[in-house]
A and B are shown apart, each in its own frame.
Chain A
Amino acid sequence: MTIKQLSIFIENKGGTLIKVLDLLSKAGIQIIASTIADTKDYGIYRLLTDDPAQAYLILKEAGINVQLSDVFALSIDDVPGRAAEAVKQISDAGVSILYLYSFLWQGKGVLVFRADPSEKAKETIMLNKMTFLTEKDFK
């Protein structure tokens, strides 16, 4: 039910982001969505790609601090109120959302998030019959 997301530790310093993007571009890997969360000193760059396993290997080999994390990707209708509804269902079940970002994909909204506890989130998504995307959807 979850998909693999790349999480990259980057310093708040010029040139670090370019290095990552360059490596992915040379390997022909497509970025579906990405977001940066930052503190004063460093940030975590999170990306969804069409080939996370390959991307991970390439970055790792280049000595980048990278991790594969499991995140949920819910597909919602692109109309006001749908995101609120989804997030409410999740949090009402006692699940915490560690971070969340969203983007549009083929006419639909996508909510990407990491949940704790993960098992409980899965259960909630099943019970509420929410639509989720898998890695296949991004190939």
Chain B
Amino acid sequence: MDDQSPYLHPQYETLSPEDLKSLQLERLQATVKHCMNSPFYKKRFEEQGLKPEDIKSLDDIRKIPFTTKQDLRDTYPFGIASVPLRQCVRLHSSSGTTGNPTVILHTQKDLDEWANQVARNLWMVGLRPDDVFQNSSGYGMFTGGLGFQYGAEKLGMLTVPAAAGNSLRQIKFIKDFGTTAIHAVPSYVTRLYEVMQQEGVDPRKDTKLKVLAIGAEPHSEEQRKRIENMMGVKAYNSFGMSEMCGPGVGFECKEQNGLHFWEDYYIVEIVNPETLEPVPDGEIGELVLTTLCREAMPLLRYRTRDLTRVLGHTCPCGRNHVRLDRMRGRSDDMMVLRGVNIFPIQIEKILMQFKELANNYLITLTTDEDNDNMTVEVELEELFTDDFQRLLELQKEIKRRLKDEILLTPHVKLVPKGTLPVSEGKAVRVVDKRKVYQ
């Protein structure tokens, strides 16, 4: 591809809305047909009396039942796959702290297509084979690692798998290798900047940075602006989820006015999470995605539980792929903090092991400076001591056990029994005061 072209895949990126729709229908029909190789989907279609031939238009997608995370758990590990295992070459999985993990299988073609999406995104924000891409994201099962690695390589960039952490080494790499682009969760970019300041490194003068890709953690427009001001470069919002492949699914173009979701790869629906009926453009609802190019594990109408809205279907950048707002929250009780998915039940499970504590608790998420933090308030069942030292030890022990479970260290606050809010007899468990949700 010519470096001057704004598009890596002009044949797909600049499709007219009509052509995009007919491509989607063709791919949806092929996907549904292919899904009949999956024991899970075959059974589900039979139960509904639905046949692949019944999908005659894009609107017919509404005849297909939703797929949920629970379905993935129930069919753990390989029950949804639409190809034999010998055709699969990669597996990614969630941590599975709230039940069976969710397992996602990939064929070689799936991995190639995934890399294509990431490469398209990075090209879209101006990166070219001359650039040096440092991926400061966790590797391993977390798809932000390998996803960006293969995508950046596909584009042809020199790609540094720096992974997360060790900020001094990260900064050395940025300077020594002439890193021009970084991918990281937003809170880690802030951390990097802090360390740069301590080390007397000015990102504007002492580095060649020009692009940041940030994602995997909810963040507000204000936080993005602050990150851009700190680092002196543009920061683009990235959306991904392992169920769809990982990062690559949606990405902001240079307009920074919503994330383009690639409609040659996915059918995007926004539904009311209660009624499951579609909501009009502009209205917030739950994002539902159908994969159009997956071999190993196509998913039909997957309920992402992420809340967002359609901002528009056209864009000055010339791409007619739907633009979605940054994620506005969740339709279940999952919290995403610094890229880690956490359910309140995980916290509850730990707290209930402390006989010193009463049953009520409150989780508050806040943005302090640019870091997202969690405070867990717990009620003391009885004052079992009047020695501060022992209260502090208890606090520390709760913290330590919570960290083992959720991998982040929350603040723990002891409060007297009966002081936490209870509304209509049902306890309020999570209060999200982070800027992104306001």
Write the residues of chain A forming the contact surface with B, with a CB cutoff of 8 angstroms. 5, 7-11, 13, 16, 37, 39, 41-42, 44, 46, 63-67, 69, 98-99, 114
Known: A7-B383, A44-B388, A46-B386. 5 other contacts (CB 8 A): A9-B380, A9-B383, A42-B413, A44-B383, A69-B386
Shortest beta-carbon distance, A15 to chain B, in Å?
Answer: 11
Assuming A11-B419, A65-B380, is B386 touching A42 (CB within 8 A)? Answer: no
B: residues with CB less than 8 A from A are 380, 382-389, 391-392, 413-419
Across the interface, do A65 and B388 meet the contact criterion of CB distance under 8 Å? no
The answer to whether B388 and A37 touch across the interface, beta carbons within 8 angstroms, is yes
Partner of B416 from the list A7, A10, A37, A69 (CB cut-off 8 Å) is: A10
**Given that A37-B388, A44-B388 are contacting pairs, would A67 and B418 also be in contact in the complex, using a CB cutoff of 8 Å?**
no
Please measure, in the bound complex, the distance between the C-alpha atom of A73 and the C-alpha atom of B35, giving whole angstroms. 80
User: B416 contacts which chain A residues (CB < 8 A)?
Assistant: 9-11, 16, 42, 64-65
A39 touches B386 (CB 8 A): no
Cross-chain contact A63 with B385 (CB below 8 angstroms)? no
* Contact A67 B383, beta carbon cutoff 8 Å: yes
**In the complex, are the beta carbons of A11 and B415 less than 8 A apart?**
yes
Give bound CA distance, A46 to B387, whole Å: 11
Q: Which residue of B lies closest to A43 (CB)?
A: B388
A49 to B: closest C-beta gap in Å: 15
> B386 — which chain A residues lie within 8 A by C-beta?
5, 7, 44, 46, 67, 69, 114
Residues of A with C-beta under 8 A to B419: 11, 13
For residue B359, give the distance in angstroms from its CB to the closest CB of chain A: 14
Q: B387 to nearest A CB, angstroms?
A: 6
What residues of A have a CB within 8 angstroms of the CB of B387 in the complex? 98, 114
Closest to A62 in B: B418
The answer on a CB contact under 8 Å between B385 and A41 is: no
Docked CA distance A65–B381 (Å): 8
Cβ–Cβ < 8 Å partners of A11 in chain B = 415-416, 419
- Neighbouring A residues of B415 by C-beta, 8 Å: 11, 41-42
> With the chains together, A16 CA to B418 CA distance in Å?
12
* Residues of B close to A37: CB separation below 8 A: 388
Distance in angstroms from A54 CB to nearest chain B CB is 18
Across the two chains, which residue of chain A brings its CB closest to B384?
A67
Q: List 21 A-B contacts (CB under 8 A).
A: A7-B383, A9-B414, A11-B415, A39-B388, A41-B413, A41-B414, A42-B415, A42-B416, A44-B386, A63-B417, A63-B418, A64-B416, A65-B380, A65-B416, A65-B417, A67-B384, A67-B385, A67-B386, A69-B386, A98-B387, A114-B387
Shortest Cβ gap from A126 to chain B (Å) = 24
Q: In whole Å, how far is B34's beta carbon from the nearest beta carbon of chain A?
A: 56
User: How distant is the Cα of A65 from the Cα of B416 in the complex, in angstroms?
Assistant: 6
When distances are taken between beta carbons in the complex, the residues of chain A under 8 Å from B413 are 41-42
- Given A41-B413, A44-B388, verify A66-B418 contact (CB < 8 Å): no
**Across-interface contacts of A42 in B (CB, < 8 A):** 391, 413-416
Query: B388 near A66 (CB under 8 angstroms)?
Result: no
User: Which single residue of chain B is at the shortest CB-CB distance from A63?
Assistant: B418
- Scoring B380, B386, B415, B419 by chain A CB atoms within 10 A of each residue's CB, the highest score goes to B386
- Chain A residues closer than 8 Å to B417, beta-carbon distance: 63, 65
A5 to B392, alpha carbons, bound, how many Å? 21
Enumerate chain A residues within 8 angstroms of B418, measured Cβ to Cβ: 63
Q: Would you give the shortest CB distance from B65 to chain A, in whole angstroms?
A: 48
Q: How far is the CB of B257 from chain A (nearest CB, A)?
A: 42
Residues of chain B with a CB closer than 8 A to A44's CB: 383, 386, 388
Closest to A69 in B: B386
Across the interface, name the chain A residue whose C-beta is closest to B387.
Answer: A98
Chain B residue with Cβ nearest A9:
B383
Residues of A within 8 A of B414 (CB): 9, 41-42
A5, A11, A37, A65, most chain B CB atoms within 10 A = A65
Report the separation of the CA atoms of residues A85 and B157 in the bound assembly, to the nearest whole angstrom.
76
**CB-nearest residue of chain A to B358:** A65
B244 to chain A, nearest CB (A): 42
Question: Who on chain A is nearest to B419 by CB?
Answer: A11
Smallest CB separation, A24 vs chain B (Å): 17
